Amino acid sequence: DAILQVQDLSVVYHSSRGPHTAVGDLNLTLRSGEFVSILGPSGCGKSTLLSVVAGLLPASRGRVMVSGEPVRRPRPDVGIVFQKPTLLPWRTVAGNVMVPIEALRRSPRDYAERCRDLLGLVGLAAFAEHYPDELSGGMQQRVSIARALIHDPALMLMDEPFGALDAMTRERMWLELQDIWLSSRKTVLFITHSIPEAVFLSDRVLVMASTPGRIVQEIVIDLPRPRA
Ligand code: ADP
Ligand code: ADP
């Protein structure tokens, strides 16, 4: 029941200063329903790893499989949240949240209620018809989180999604997310700089080190959790 398999992955960047191995021979398997955090210093290759898993960056060597299929391009059935909000400025908040539904050619009508629920969950119920430039950066980031959840993706990739949020909002998001994991048991690969965040949310924490980026330690978080 592995939903994500990363096998002997290496990613080499080429620049004027020559090749730089950002990720070297990295192996990683996520079982269905697992919440796995990746913790590590800046520049150790976390975002590079996530970009390859997301299909946004090619592997130099090795392979990445999602649901048993090699990843070559972004898949609409995978939810992604980046460090910074990435909304379409010409669409309303609700319109942005509905983008994955349209990409998957599902009926927006079937998701109208879920859209409302998710906007409520991220504290933006009153902003469905507003445009991104009317919202703060933190609010825009919460729209991005709702958008990544609308199609109920089996796999979610999150790259420091709460870095830009204030501490209170961040802790509320932790609790809300736990409720979502509880009700739908998503598989999540979660990048963070925050040890408390990793420990609070994860089943496993993988620690990365740099040059080249690799996993040097695995910590199983064996706390009793209100999991379904
Ligand atoms: P992290 O997310 O852990 O901070 P990154 O994956 O962003 O790390 O970067 C890993 C390494 O690859 C760093 O040394 C960074 O400078 C380098 N790097 C990242 N993106 C590029 C790029 N587009 N071109 C060249 N080097 C890059
Ligand atoms: P845009 O400004 O991009 O045209 P719209 O408001 O027309 O955005 O909405 C685009 C999509 O979002 C449509 O699929 C529509 O069904 C859906 N949508 C719009 N408003 C809501 C809402 N309040 N609740 C749920 N879905 C909505």
Residue 192 has pLDDT above 80, yes or no: yes
Residue 227 has pLDDT above 60, yes or no: no
Hey, which of 44, 49, 51, 215 would you mutate to test ligand 1's pocket, going by the most ligand atoms within 8 Å of its Cβ?
Answer: 44
Q: Is 41 exposed, middle or buried (0-12, 13-18, 19+ CB in 10 A)?
A: exposed
Q: Is residue 96 lining ligand 2, measured as CB closer than 6 Å?
A: no
Cα of 217 vs centre of ligand 1, distance in Å, is 21
Cα of 113 vs centre of ligand 1, distance in Å, is 40
d(CA 157, CA 170): 17
Residue 228 has pLDDT above 50, yes or no: no
Residue 114 has pLDDT above 60, yes or no: yes
d(CA 190, CA 163): 12
Q: What percent of the chain has pLDDT over 90?
A: 75
Ligand nearest to the CA of 98: 2
Confidence tier at 35 by pLDDT (50, 70, 90): very high
Cβ atoms 42, 16 nearer than 8 A: no
Q: What is the pLDDT of residue 1?
A: 86
- Span 125-150, mean pLDDT? 95
Q: Is residue 108 lining ligand 2, measured as CB closer than 6 Å?
A: yes
ipTM here = 0.70
Tallying the residues shown for the chain, one arrives at 228
d(CA 167, CA 128): 24
E strand map for 16-127: 18-31, 35-39, 61-66, 69-70, 78-81
Q: What percent of the chain has pLDDT over 70?
A: 98
Confidence tier at 164 by pLDDT (50, 70, 90): confident
Q: Is residue 98 lining ligand 2, measured as CB closer than 6 Å?
A: yes
Residue 225 has pLDDT above 70, yes or no: no
Of 7-21, 116-130, 181-195, 203-217, the least confident: 181-195
Of 56-65, 73-82, 90-99, 182-191, the least confident: 182-191
Of 5-19, 109-123, 151-165, 172-186, the least confident: 172-186
Cβ atoms 35, 202 nearer than 8 A: yes
Residue 206 has pLDDT above 50, yes or no: yes
Q: Is residue 115 lining ligand 2, measured as CB closer than 6 Å?
A: yes
Of 25-39, 60-74, 163-177, the least confident: 163-177
Cβ atoms 111, 100 nearer than 8 A: no
